[in-house]
Amino acid sequence: MKIDEAREVRTTCPYCGVGCGVLAKVAANGEVTVRGDPDHPANFGRLCSKGSALAETIDLDGRLLYPEIHGSRTDWDEALDLVASTFSRTIAEHGRDAVAFYVSGQLLTEDYYVANKLMKGFIGSANIDTNSRLCMASSVAGHRRAFGSDTVPGSYEDLELADLIVLVGSNLAWCHPVLYQRIAAAREKRPDMKVVLVDPRRTMTSDIADMHLAIAADGDVALFTGLLAHLGQHNALDRAYITAHTTGFGQALFAASALDLAGIAAATGLGEDELVRFYSLFAATANTVTVYSQGVNQSSSGTDKVNAIINCHLATGRIGKSGAGPFSVTGQPNAMGGREVGGLANMLAAHMEIENPEHRDRVQRFWSAPTVAEKPGLKAVEMFQAVADGRIKALWIMATNPVDSMPDADAVEAAIKACPFVVVSDVLAKTDTVRHAHVRLPAAAWGEKDGSVTNSERRISRQRAFLATPGEARADWWIIAEVAKRMGFDEAFSHPSPADIFAEHAALSAFENDGARDFDIGAYAGVDEEGYEALVPFQWPAPSPGGTIGRQPIRFFANGSFYTPDGRAKFIAIRPTAQTRTSSDYPLVLNTGRVRDHWHTMTRTGKSPRLSQHLAEPFAEIHPADAQHFGIGDADIVSVSTEHGEVLLRALVTMRQRPGSVFVPMHWTDQFSARARVDALVAPITDPISGQPASKNVAARVERF
């Protein structure tokens, strides 16, 4: 098991998008210990409960250690040959769009790069999408509409420098704990710093909030269009910035003014006095950062929410400045890395655009590829619908568990069961998805593989191996490249190591770029094994060795220049809306989300007794008034149902919950608690622009069981 007993290995936490540095050590008796890396600029030595329990989750219980075909052990050659020949035959018989990859924000950038290269450049389809679609696709779409690029403008340091932090749809205390700790520490040093929390629930994050706006589900568009109108009415605009650096302000302000204050109050469920206090605070505080997460992104109006927030920052010139800017925090460890290499079905590698013929030509020439995808592929929800109706006949799922995590999860499971050929590469042998695979490929886990990840502030860090790979498990990039070679693409996929892939990825970012695109890590184009091993965490852009490397923090748009064709940021005209889905049959709003000590479908954190102590079972949080109305007592077993399914949970009656709503955590699967897969309840409704599912506003009913 041991690689080097004497040395602590610098690596990165595999959980949330904060991207904390971890020092891992293997003792002579094989015992693994972890601690926070004091030198990593994301966490400076801090770790949350999940990160500090990593050593408890790396045993081999339940691991998939050997390739399997139809549940029987086989060798790699036979398994890879079968995958390659079946994909090739399916493409020959039914066309290139009859195959698909569904990948994951848990993959390392090098894995993602090779998967995307195979699908978009060599198979020639864009049918590769990722569970990051469920995480931050609305932010990507909003960034691209406003900035002409998918760019998070600021850095974590801006959260410490801000005088006002507005947290929207984010339980930062539980979902990005180290970032929350950084804000709490900054606030202790500067007690005048203010925090506003916009969230239907009163969560642990409200402990540091000066103001909690318990907004109605999907009231965010109304809240921020109302803010824009308020800024216009109260001379709080930066007219010089708007004139010099933006377009579309007049239309955006006109659309935002569709509702008066009473109308905004009705659409948000907030009081007019609360609205005015928040709007006045925002208007008066130049150093404002608006941090937003899944409550914004996971919505049928997610992209509009993102742009409504960005509009307010553009209108006040609060972007690209120290302590100011809109700031999307990603849920997953490498959601950002996936964006960089084109892991979304509607993007090309290196942040290039699939709809742009010049970009397609550039990527194809760089790869010397036989073809390149000519149109966007199917986004996650559409992809599984295409599996269900038979358009997709061969599916490869990597490092994710869609039978538990996709909306309308029962329908997704039925689609996967009926698909003629399903490959799953995973660490575990028995997830709800793996059991439906025709071919199971054992993947290396955290601690066993080498690569890189990018966190929410665009910082690229290495994940490094400190354990030997067990059984016949292999790195994901190796598995994908071996299939590609067997499909006839030997030369392009002859990567000897992740360092070689990273160097190619960096070279592509700089290829015919000349600063025209936001993502550029050209300084690393020639990195060798030694340089890759020694790589220290850095933010992009890093275009040249003498350029921005090591100068922290980096802020985009400081000069007021954007990546749109005219170089100006674009205001998006958005009308305030409210989205009511409840009915007499389903009178409550179901909101799904995370708890502090578990991660996704608990395949890793479920192994730690310590982490499971915090909240031992799934629950349904409901307001006392609703509990009384429906005859539910605290700790009763209740049925939560929607048009799509039903789960059984323990009721948690609490004032933290907004009346008319119910909260259920997303983590528990049928493996851990009978009938607890909450995503079986979530309707497959998506944002029309980003394709991100609306997992926080589902019409539901709660009854005593």
- Footprint of ligand SF4 on this chain (CB under 6 A)? 13, 15-16, 18-20, 43, 47-48, 50-51, 176-178
Report in angstroms how near the CB of residue 48 gets to ligand SF4 at its nearest: 3
Q: Which of 486, 604 has the CB closer to ligand SF4?
A: 604
- 288 strand-pairing partners: 164
| Calpha distance 677→415 (Å, rounded) | 17
Phi, psi dihedral angles at 382 (to 5 degrees): -65, -35
Nearer to ligand SF4, 43 or 405 (CB): 43
Alpha carbons 614 and 630: distance in angstroms, whole number: 28
If the CB atoms of residues 176 and 474 are measured against ligand SF4, the closer one turns out to be 176
Nearest approach in angstroms of CB 610 to ligand SF4 is 14
CA distance between the termini of the chain: 48
Phi-psi region of 560 (alpha: psi -120 to 50; beta: other; left: phi over 0): left
Q: Residue 131 carries which DSSP code?
A: G
Quick one: 19 or 317, whose CB is closer to ligand SF4?
A: 19
Indicate the residue among 44 and 672 with the shorter CB distance to ligand SF4.
44
In which residue are the tokens 């983590």 written? Answer: 667
**Residue number with CB closer to ligand SF4 (51 or 377):** 51
In the complex, the smallest distance separating the C-beta of residue 405 from ligand SF4, rounded to whole angstroms, is 18
Query: Quick one: tokens of 692?
Result: 């991100």
Q: Closer CB to ligand SF4, residue 177 or residue 442? A: 177
In 608-667, which ranges are continuous DSSP H helix?
A: 609-614, 624-629
Nearer to ligand SF4, 52 or 669 (CB): 52
Q: How many angstroms separate the CA atoms of 445 and 496, rounded? A: 19
Residue closer to ligand SF4 (CB basis): 176 or 393: 176
Question: How far is 271 from 274, CA to CA, in rounded Å?
Answer: 5
Q: Which residues of 20-36 are buried (b: 16+ CB within 10 A; e: fewer)?
A: bbbbbbbeeeeebebbb
Q: What is each CA distance from 608 to 272, 284, 612, in whole angstroms? A: 46, 46, 6
- Per the CB < 8 A criterion, the answer to whether 293 and 329 are in contact is yes
436/417 Cα distance (integer angstroms): 6
Q: Is 17 or 153 the residue whose CB approaches ligand SF4 more closely?
A: 17
Q: Cβ of residue 459: shortest distance to ligand SF4, in angstroms? A: 12
The CB-of-614 to ligand SF4 minimum distance in angstroms stands at 14
- Tell me which residue of 22, 27, 35 sits closest to 7, measured CA to CA: 27
Please give the Cα distance from 174 to 145 (Å, whole number). 30
CA distance 386 to 103: 16
Structure tokens at 358: 């010049």
16 versus 398: smaller Cβ distance to ligand SF4: 16
CB of 554 to ligand SF4, least distance (A): 20
Assigned token pair, 414: 């039925």
Enter the tokens of residue 278. 């928040």
- Side chain identity at residue 115, one-letter code: A
Coil, helix or strand for 93?
A: helix
The nearer residue to ligand SF4, 13 or 291, going by C-beta atoms, is: 13
As measured in angstroms, the least distance from the Cβ of 140 to ligand SF4 is: 21
The nearest distance, CB 451 to ligand SF4, in angstroms, is: 16
C-alpha of 51 from chain center: 18
In angstroms, give the least distance from the CB of 549 to ligand SF4: 23
Closest distance between ligand SF4 and the C-beta of residue 326, in Å? 21
User: 495 or 600, CB closer to ligand SF4?
Assistant: 600
Q: How far is the CB of 35 from ligand SF4 (least distance, A)?
A: 11
**Min separation Cβ 60 and ligand SF4, Å:** 22
CA distance 115 to 480: 6
Q: Which is nearer to ligand SF4, 18 or 378 (CB)?
A: 18
Q: Which residue is nearest to ligand SF4 (CB)?
A: 51
DSSP 19-58: --EEEEEE-TTS-EEEEE-TT-TTTTT---HHHHTGGGG-
From residue 692, alpha-carbon distances to 191, 300, 382, 506 in Å are: 37, 7, 11, 28
Separation between Cα atoms, residue 462 and residue 582, nearest integer Å: 46
* Buried-state track 401-420, b at ≥16 Cβ within 10 A, e below 16: bbbbbbbbbebbbbbbeebe
CB of 17 to ligand SF4, least distance (A): 7
Q: In the bound complex, what is the minimum distance in angstroms from residue 41's beta carbon to ligand SF4?
A: 13
Buried b (16+ CB within 10 A) or exposed e, 128-148: bbbbbbbbbbbbbbbbbbbbb
